Amino acid sequence: MLVNCHDGRIVPLFQDDRLPSGVALDDDTLFWFCSALTGQTRRPAMPQTVEGTSGIFSIHLVFYSLLIGVITYLLYFRKKEKRPTIKLSEKQKEELIAEWDPEPLVPEIDPEDEQALAKPKYVDGKMTKHVKIEGKEYLNVGTSNFLGFIGDSRIEEIAKKTIFKYGVGSCGPRGFYGTVDVHLDLEKELAEFLGCEEAVLYSYGFATIASAIPAYAKRGDIIYADKAVNFAIQKGLQASRSRIEWFDHNDPEDLERLLKKQEQEDKKNPKKAAQIRRFLVIEGLYGKTGQICPLKRYLELKWQYKVRIFIDESYSFGVLGKSGKAKTKLNTYSCAFFFPFFVISVSPTLA
């Protein structure tokens, strides 16, 4: 008989291949025989068996069983509280209905207001700087027709010819109905007039700046914006998902404070700073306040802190500057040299 000892050696114990009758070897007896034959006195550690972890497994099984039981009880067997219900008699219902006095869907109108609504006042004629109401001429201070396009006979004649050639409808954006030759002609003329490389026409003034900003600024970029920018710019800032840093209205010093603060942050992580683009969003002439931006000071900060400028010239185009080129024509440089993103909306002047 061969015996496999704990140290891995196999030694002969009996000549036969079987034990003598009535002899049984347990683990301790086997270790004694191996020690006597091999001289090993230290008993090696036996690997842990599955029975050693059965107690831990039983505890987990009991815990999860209790947990499932509690959840089942809370979902299906727990009694819900019954809220007290008030039962009204038919008489009480009738009394409540009689006391209820519903408000009218349309509020009552005073007699004076009713007479005014019966004979509304309206403008008779074109919405120029002077309007006629009930035969009297008034000064129109509620228009943004700064350039006087409305009522200009030369523009009206060209508009008539254009309508006869291209037709007219309630809607005709380029994105839906395609580009027409007059689109390209106007883009070329605007670029030449402003000294820019190219110009792009939008069919809606609000969408111009609101879509131009998120087209270039992305998540992770920084946009420095004046607190008085118009609503279209605000929607563009929101759509860009960039980090917005607001500075006080027309305050270059407050803007420089934010730029210096970011400059210190960039020094801590130059690798990250190299991937962040910075934009400055301003208006040439602010529609909310009527103030002109200090553009020369902003340009100094642009070159010093390496920011790109978005300037909205919707209200200043045709109004500011000797030739009506707004704030962009500085010295002998073209606007493209100063402003990578130059936005103009002529819709205010046609409203």
pLDDT one-digit tens code per residue, 242-293: 999 999 999 999 999 999 999 999 999 999 999 999 999 999 889 899 899 9
Distance CA(234)–CA(207), nearest Å, equals 12
Distance CA(20)–CA(101), nearest Å, equals 110
φ, ψ of residue 265 in degrees (nearest 5): -65, -35
The mean pLDDT value of the chain amounts to 79
Domains of the chain, first to last: 2-38 (no CATH), 205-350 (3.40.640.10)
Task: Give yes or no for residue 104 having a pLDDT over 70.
Answer: yes
pLDDT for res 3: 47
pLDDT for res 333: 37
When pLDDT is averaged across residues 303-313 and rounded to a whole number, the result is 91
Distance CA(314)–CA(249), nearest Å, equals 18
When pLDDT is averaged across residues 183-212 and rounded to a whole number, the result is 86
pLDDT for res 179: 86
When pLDDT is averaged across residues 289-308 and rounded to a whole number, the result is 92
Burial classification of residue 232, based on how many CB atoms lie within 10 Å of its CB (0-12 exposed, 13-18 middle, 19 or more buried): buried
Distance CA(258)–CA(205), nearest Å, equals 30
Distance CA(347)–CA(173), nearest Å, equals 14
Contact 228, 288 (CB under 8 A): yes
When pLDDT is averaged across residues 132-147 and rounded to a whole number, the result is 86
Task: Give yes or no for residue 332 having a pLDDT over 70.
Answer: no
Of 210-224, 288-302, 315-329, which gets the smallest average pLDDT? 315-329
Task: Give yes or no for residue 20 having a pLDDT over 60.
Answer: no
When pLDDT is averaged across residues 182-187 and rounded to a whole number, the result is 89
76 DSSP 8-state letter: I
What pTM was estimated for this model as a whole?
A: 0.62
pLDDT one-digit tens code per residue, 147-177: 788 888 998 999 899 889 888 776 667 777 7
Task: Give yes or no for residue 336 having a pLDDT over 70.
Answer: no
Q: 53 or 213, which is more confident?
A: 213
Q: Tokens for 338, please give them.
A: 């100063």
% of the chain at pLDDT higher than 70: 74
